[in-house]
């Protein structure tokens, strides 16, 4: 099914007007899939070291971001009465990129509180403060997508794992309450006490990048090109759309760019994977086949994936590099756990079996090397294509557009500006 999926992507390139950019996205998605396999292998090679390293990385990331945001808060509260919540996240070009990161990590932030008491127990209060701070930053950022997604994930986790999910839910609730108290103290009470007014910004953002328009526009394009789509990454090349470079919905994005059949394959693979994960983990949780820590890890990973999946229906999680990196980590980790629980086949002829393994390994190495090199060339050729005509944008008084292009890893609008696009933009402003 993955082979058909990528074949459809390559085929859809033929109908797009920006083949280098389309090939870039196909190559990027292929490399992401290969990175997931590498992550699964890394887990299988050393599960305990993998676990320790991931926990240290995620908690360190949260701690550094928390220190950065609190430093910005201190500077803001001291110098100005007009403190804005978004000023706490100035190290992100868009606050939504931070929220996408949280959608992957929020379910895992309490993991060190639940496992390996001998190793992590003495740092309990440090980890609980980091978890509280991580929830505080979610509330301060005002993300509706992450908030809604973690609620859905929590309900789903409880329904599937029942009493085994209670410890995870308990620490998430404690962290949420602590984060809410911190939010009320720092964002509402303290600014009001100092300046007689609360900080600007709301608990949940009310602005929107025009999702309804993007979905309607994507639906029109899907109707025009239902089988192969308009070409990978070509939603960003549409001269009639200057709202956003992607439709803020993972399934719609695949459907409009790769075609409906590719989208159906993606949905089928996800459902198949989740079904097998739930079937295997719910079976092993009720037995002594896995340790209590392993059960907890499986629950946290499930909650993380569901949170990010739900958020991907409202945001560009499959587009942005920070969330793509977390996607590689989480799905690769889950794949590694899934493969580690598979029963081993008993070889009937050791000599024949070793020879077959050696041949398969050599063939696999050659094929994967060729695919990787091809994909790297595709990505590099797309990045270093002729830059958009920025002088044209400045000439037409649209200098603000220059900063958005040609960064496919930020805004995503790779395709060249042209007079038709500029004139359409002028009409939309009028």
Of 49 and 205, the structure prediction assigns the larger pLDDT to: 49
Query: For residue 118, what pLDDT is reported?
Result: 64
The residue whose two tokens read 């929107």 is 208
Q: Has residue 319 got a pLDDT over 70?
A: yes
Q: Has residue 426 got a pLDDT over 60?
A: no
Give the residue-averaged pLDDT of 84-90: 83
Give the residue-averaged pLDDT of 72-85: 81
Tell me the pLDDT tens digit for each residue of 216-255. 889 998 998 899 888 888 887 766 666 777 888 999 999 9
Of 206 and 74, the structure prediction assigns the larger pLDDT to: 74
Tell me the pLDDT tens digit for each residue of 109-142. 999 998 877 666 678 889 999 999 999 999 998 8
Residues with Cβ within 8 Å of 247's Cβ and at least 6 positions away in sequence, in order, are: 211, 214, 215, 217, 218, 235, 253, 256
Give the residue-averaged pLDDT of 364-379: 88
Give the residue-averaged pLDDT of 261-289: 88
Give CA–CA dist 221/234, Å, rounded: 11
pTM as predicted: 0.85
Which of 24-28, 333-337, 344-348, 352-356 holds the top average pLDDT? Answer: 333-337
Query: For residue 394, what pLDDT is reported?
Result: 56
Give CA–CA dist 215/213, Å, rounded: 6
Beta bridge partners of 200: 84
Look up residue 72 and give its two tokens: 């910005």
Q: Which of 92, 25, 93, 91 is nearest to 403 (CA)?
A: 93
Q: How many residues does the chain have?
A: 430
Tell me the pLDDT tens digit for each residue of 36-60. 999 999 999 999 999 999 999 999 9
Give CA–CA dist 222/230, Å, rounded: 8
Q: Which of 5, 1, 16, 7 is nearest to 382 (CA)?
A: 16
Query: For residue 148, what pLDDT is reported?
Result: 94
The residue whose two tokens read 């919540």 is 85
Q: Quickly count: other Cβ atoms within 10 Å of residue 162's Cβ.
A: 11
Query: For residue 427, what pLDDT is reported?
Result: 41
Count of CA atoms in the C-beta half-sphere (13 A) of 259: 21
Q: Has residue 424 got a pLDDT over 90?
A: no
Q: Has residue 34 got a pLDDT over 50?
A: yes
- Which H/E stretch holds residue 194? helix 190-195
Tell me the pLDDT tens digit for each residue of 177-187. 999 999 998 88
Give CA–CA dist 406/41, Å, rounded: 34
Radius of gyration of the chain (CA): 24
Give percent of the chain above pLDDT 70. Answer: 78
Collapse the DSSP code of 186 into the 3-class scheme (helix H, G, I; strand E, B; otherwise coil) and give the result. Answer: helix
Give CA–CA dist 26/6, Å, rounded: 7
Query: For residue 50, what pLDDT is reported?
Result: 94
Query: For residue 161, what pLDDT is reported?
Result: 92
- Pair 259, 12: CB distance under 8 Å: yes
Query: For residue 12, what pLDDT is reported?
Result: 85
């Amino acid at each position: 099914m993955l082979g058909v999926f990528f074949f459809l992507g390559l085929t859809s390139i033929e109908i797009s007007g920006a083949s280098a950019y389309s090939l870039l996205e196909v190559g990027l998605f292929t490399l992401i899939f290969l990175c997931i396999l590498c992550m699964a292998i890394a887990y299988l090679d050393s599960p305990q070291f993998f676990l320790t390293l991931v926990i240290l990385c995620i908690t360190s990331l949260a701690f550094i971001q928390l220190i950065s945001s609190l430093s910005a808060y201190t500077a803001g509260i001291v110098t100005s009465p007009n403190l804005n919540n978004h000023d706490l996240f100035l190290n992100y070009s868009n606050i939504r990129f931070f929220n996408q990161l949280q959608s992957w990590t929020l379910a895992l932030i309490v993991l060190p509180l639940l496992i390996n008491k001998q190793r992590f127990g003495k740092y309990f209060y440090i980890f609980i403060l980091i978890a509280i701070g991580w929830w505080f930053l979610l509330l301060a950022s005002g993300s509706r997508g992450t908030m809604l997604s973690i609620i859905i994930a929590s309900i789903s986790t409880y329904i599937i794992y029942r009493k085994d999910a209670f410890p995870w839910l308990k620490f998430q609730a404690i962290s949420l309450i602590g984060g809410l108290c911190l939010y009320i103290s720092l964002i509402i009470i303290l600014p009001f006490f100092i300046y007689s007014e609360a900080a600007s910004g709301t608990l949940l953002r009310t602005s929107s990048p025009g999702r309804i328009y993007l979905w309607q526009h994507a639906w029109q394009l899907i109707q025009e090109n239902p089988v192969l789509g308009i070409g990978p990454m070509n939603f960003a090349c549409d001269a009639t759309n200057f709202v956003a470079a992607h439709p803020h919905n993972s399934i719609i994005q695949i459907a409009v760019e790769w075609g409906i059949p590719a989208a159906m394959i993606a949905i089928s693979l996800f459902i198949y994977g989740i079904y097998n994960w739930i079937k295997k983990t719910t079976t092993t949780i009720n037995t002594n086949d896995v340790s209590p820590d392993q059960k907890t890890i499986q629950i946290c990973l499930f909650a993380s994936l569901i949170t990010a999946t739900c958020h991907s229906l409202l945001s560009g999680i499959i587009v942005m590099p920070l969330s793509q990196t977390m996607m590689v980590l989480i799905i690769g980790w889950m794949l590694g756990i899934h493969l580690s629980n598979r029963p081993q086949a008993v070889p009937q002829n050791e000599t024949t079996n070793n020879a077959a393994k050696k041949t398969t390994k050599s063939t696999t190495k050659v094929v994967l090397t060729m695919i990787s090199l091809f994909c790297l060339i595709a990505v590099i050729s797309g990045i270093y294509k002729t830059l958009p005509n920025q002088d044209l944008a400045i000439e037409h008084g649209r200098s603000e557009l220059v900063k958005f292009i040609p960064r496919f890893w930020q805004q995503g609008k790779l395709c060249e500006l042209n007079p038709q696009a500029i004139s359409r933009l002028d009409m939309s402003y009028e």
